[in-house]
């Protein structure tokens, strides 16, 4: 009872693997950066994973610009935003938009009741490993980053779950937290420097905005970074679906969580999309250079192995 079943399948013509137990079913596509393209909690039968309706699934080339919303639940490393590595021995080496992982194929193997996926850096000497396991109603993501060289390696890691945005949603924390507004389409907020008490921010005109509730599409979009979390737990409640998704993580290792709330406000050119992303991450900026200047960068020591985990659980409301 509750045993995980793993089978090879296809999804939209791509080779895929399905992991399934009595409460949960997920699908990963190794060729597309290991993206998890389906995540169904059997309590409700609702699949919250967003697939871009304008593009469908796309295999992007390495170093592609992130010009429209991608699909699925992916991984970002060693950076999020485009830039250059700021220090020796890789001083000036370009950092691809959204990092190196999302455009690479993950070498994938089945090990008993888990799926193990590996990929190596292209411009930087690391090996990234992700293990997928199911435990009752939760997906367990176990990560390993091995620094293969004799220099310390500075990086940003972020989960990037593109999820369906509906018109009656709530974002809940277990305890207090604070947040930055990193970007706002309508330039409504003071960005990157002002820290707010969750969940209310004040616009430059003095209007209070409660980010914990989403009740409609207004053509705007914001990227937030949660920080100083009392507990590594962020919950996304789909009230109109009667379902909740909860991200659990050790906030001593993963101190922050990004929130990408796109209410038909992005991309800026072309047909906009609607989605939400809850992104456990190691920074309060998309940019490696900014994070280094802030003194909050994560460092993989020379020839070391770093490990962390995230659990994503599905429940009925």
Domains in the chain and their CATH numbers? 5-316 (2.70.98.10)
Question: What pLDDT, in 10s, does the model give residues 193-240?
Answer: 899 999 999 999 999 999 999 988 899 999 999 999 999 999 999 999
Sorting pLDDT into bands at 50, 70 and 90, what band is 269?
A: confident
Residue 130 pLDDT > 70: yes
pTM: 0.96
Sorting pLDDT into bands at 50, 70 and 90, what band is 186?
A: confident
What average pLDDT score do residues 78-88 get?
Answer: 96
**Residue bearing tokens 């979009």:** 221
Residue 1 pLDDT > 80: no
Residue 289: DSSP 8-state: H
Q: How far apart are the first and last CA of the chain?
A: 24
How many angstroms separate the CA atoms of 55 and 136, rounded? 33
Copy the structure tokens of residue 268. Answer: 């800026």
Residue 25's pLDDT is 98
Copy the structure tokens of residue 116. Answer: 């193990």
By three-state DSSP, how is residue 292 classified?
A: helix
Contact between 35 and 72 under an 8 Å Cβ cutoff? The reply is yes
Q: Nearest 10 degrees: CA dihedral of 299, 114, 17, 67? A: -20
How far is residue 203 from each of residues 74, 195, 221, measured CA to CA in Å? 31, 13, 14
Contact between 73 and 106 under an 8 Å Cβ cutoff? The reply is no
**Selection from 167, 143, 165, 172 nearest residue 247 by Cα:** 172
Residue 94's pLDDT is 98
Question: What pLDDT, in 10s, does the model give residues 28-66?
Answer: 999 999 999 999 999 999 999 999 999 999 999 999 999
Contact between 160 and 280 under an 8 Å Cβ cutoff? The reply is no
**Phi, psi (rounded to 5 degrees) for 294:** -75, -15
**Phi, psi (rounded to 5 degrees) for 143:** -115, 145
**Phi, psi (rounded to 5 degrees) for 191:** -105, 145
């Amino acid at each position: 009872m509750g045993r995980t079943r793993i089978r090879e399948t296809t999804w939209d013509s791509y080779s895929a693997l399905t992991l399934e137990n009595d409460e949960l079913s997920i699908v990963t596509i190794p060729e597309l950066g290991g993206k998890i393209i389906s995540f169904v909690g059997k309590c409700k039968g609702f699949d919250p994973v967003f697939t871009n309706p304008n593009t469908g699934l796309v295999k992007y080339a390495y170093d592609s610009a992130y010009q429209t919303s991608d699909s699925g639940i992916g991984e970002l490393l060693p950076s999020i935003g485009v830039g250059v590595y700021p220090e020796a021995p890789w001083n000036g080496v370009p950092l691809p938009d959204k990092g190196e992982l999302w455009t690479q194929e993950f070498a994938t193997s089945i090990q008993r009741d888990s799926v193990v996926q590996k990929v190596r850096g292209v411009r930087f000497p690391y090996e990234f490993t992700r293990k997928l396991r199911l435990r009752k109603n939760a997906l367990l993501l176990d990560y390993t980053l091995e620094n293969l060289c004799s220099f310390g390696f500075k990086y940003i890691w972020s989960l990037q779950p593109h999820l369906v945005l509906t018109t009656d949603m709530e974002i809940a924390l277990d305890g207090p937290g604070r947040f930055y507004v990193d970007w706002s389409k309508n330039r409504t907020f003071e960005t990157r420097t002002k820290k707010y008490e969750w969940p209310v921010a004040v616009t430059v005109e003095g209007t209070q905005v409660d980010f914990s509730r989403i009740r409609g599409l207004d053509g705007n979009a914001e990227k937030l970074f949660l920080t100083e979390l009392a507990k590594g737990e962020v919950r996304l409640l789909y009230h109109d679906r009667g379902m909740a998704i909860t991200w659990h993580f050790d906030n001593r290792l993963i101190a922050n969580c990004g929130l990408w709330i796109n209410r038909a406000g992005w991309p800026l050119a072309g047909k906009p999309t609607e989605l939400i992303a809850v992104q456990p991450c190691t920074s309060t900026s998309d940019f490696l250079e900014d994070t280094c200047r802030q003194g909050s960068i994560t460092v993989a020591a020379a020839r070391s192995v770093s490990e962390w985990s995230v659990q994503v659980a599905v429940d009925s409301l």
